[in-house]
Amino acid sequence: MAMSEISRCSYHVFLSFRGEDTRKSFTDHLYTALVHLGIQTFRDDEVIERGNNIKDEIEKAILHHSKISIVVFSKNYAASTWCLNELVMILEHKKSSKHIVLPVFYDVDPSQVKNQTESYAEAFTQHEQNFESMVQRWRNALKEVADIGGMVLQDRN
C-alpha cells in the first residue's frame, strides 16, 4: 500500500481489543507507541466525542477512516459480542478493499482462537444460547483471522 493512500485516511490504524483484558496494559502501551511514532490511531475511548453514537463512530472508523486494523486477541475477547461484531466488520471490509488486518494474540494461542477452545469455547457456549443467528459468522471470522500471519505475545506479569 502506497504511503499516499494511508495519508488520505483519518487514521492509519484502528485498534480492536477487549477493554477489560488489555486496555490498561498491552493495548495502552501499543497505542502510546503508535501515537509517539506519529501513527494516527483510533482507540474508542480516545476518539469518540460525548453524545456521538459509539457503534456508528466505530463503523465509520473501520470502513471509511483507517487502512489497517490491529486486532488484539486476549483471553476474554470472544466473550464480547461487540468485539466479535467488530471483527466480522473488519474482515468483510478486508475482502472488499485493501484494508490490512494484523492479528495480535496476547496471552492466547492462535489455535485457541481458530478452534474456539478454552475461554473461547466457554464464551461460545453462552453465545449459542443468546445469539444463535450470529454464532456461525463469529466462528468463521475467528477461524479466518487466526490464519492471517500475526504476532503471538505472552503477558510478562
- Quote the CA–CA distance of 39 and 7 in Å, as a whole number: 10
Residues 6 or more apart from 86 whose CB is under 8 A from it? 16, 58, 62
User: What residues does 70 pair with on adjacent strands?
Assistant: 15, 102
- The angle at the Cα of 39, spanning 34 to 41, to the nearest 5 degrees, equals 75
Strands (E), 2-90: 11-17, 41-42, 66-73
- Quote the CA–CA distance of 32 and 50 in Å, as a whole number: 22
Catalytic residue list contains 5: no
Annotated catalytic residue within 57, 86, 128, 132 = 86
- Quote the CA–CA distance of 155 and 157 in Å, as a whole number: 6
- Quote the CA–CA distance of 19 and 87 in Å, as a whole number: 14
The residues annotated as belonging to the active site are: 86
